[in-house]
A = this chain, B = another copy of it.
Amino acid sequence: MASTTEENYLKALYNLSNSQGEVNISELAQSLGVSMPTANSMVKSLQKTDLVVYEKYKPVTLTPKGQKEAALIIRKHRLTEMFLVKKMGFGWEEVHEVAEQIEHIHAPKFFERMDEMLGHPTIDPHGSPIPDNQGRMQEFSYTPLSSCKAGQIVQLTALTNSSTEFLEFLNSRKLSLGIEMKILSREAYDLSLVVSYADHLQETLSEKVSERLLVRIIG
């Protein structure tokens, strides 16, 4: 059984994997807030339990076994977030830290019950997909709002960043998942967008914000 530390490495590797499933030691170290030698030595030890493939000076890759373990931890994280929001009255901006701890609990029934009580959800409160109990994660192909054109009508479906600060910003603008918005114009200078939604008739969103908002184009 992987330790909490190992689980965190697996999760980071899963999230950092590029299209070829590769992760550099430096990215891994940075993402976990540890030094490169630390990441390096942990990667070597994950290799001994067949969770990653690794060769000196090459990027790291998760094995299928490592991918599955990682996805199952992410499943526990996202189920927990959903449970906290839907069943315990937490705001979507408050759940990350708690879920970060609860994802390491070893108690299959606990998460199965959450799953049942939530009606087997497929996305978490931030629109991210919840892997199934075999560790399979469905791929969504959402568009960043930043690459939409003036005149389009879109529905906010997910976020690429779920930091507390960003979520609090969205709260302050009454932006939540499911909301439909119309793109009124784009400022060529700074790529900010002017949009309207609900009772916000004219709201300006910086590029930094709009590239973190994932949408489905509905018109």
Measured CB to CB, the residues of A under 8 A from B are 84, 87-90, 94, 97-98, 101-102, 105-107, 109-110, 113-114, 117
**B88, B94, B98, B117: the one within 8 Å of A105 (CB):** B98
Task: Label chain A's interface by main secondary structure.
Answer: helix
**Which chain B residues lie closer than 8 Å to A107 at the CB level?**
97-98, 101
CB distance from A184 to the nearest CB of B (A): 39
A90 touching B113 in the complex, CB below 8 Å, given contacts A97-B107, A107-B97: yes
CB distance from A127 to the nearest CB of B (A): 23
Q: Decide if B98 touches A110 in the complex (CB within 8 Å).
A: yes
**Which chain B residues lie closer than 8 Å to A97 at the CB level?**
107
Closest 6 CB pairs of A and B: A98-B107, A88-B113, A101-B105, A98-B110, A89-B113, A102-B105
**Which chain B residues lie closer than 8 Å to A106 at the CB level?**
101
Distance, CA A214 to CA B84, complexed state (A): 36
Further 15 A-B residue pairs, CB within 8 A, beyond A87-B87, A88-B117: A84-B110, A88-B110, A88-B113, A88-B114, A90-B109, A90-B113, A97-B107, A98-B105, A98-B107, A98-B109, A98-B110, A101-B105, A101-B106, A102-B102, A102-B105
Could you pull out 18 A-B pairs where Cβ atoms are within 8 angstroms?
A87-B87, A88-B110, A88-B113, A88-B114, A88-B117, A89-B113, A90-B109, A90-B113, A94-B109, A97-B107, A98-B105, A98-B107, A98-B109, A101-B105, A101-B106, A101-B107, A102-B102, A102-B105
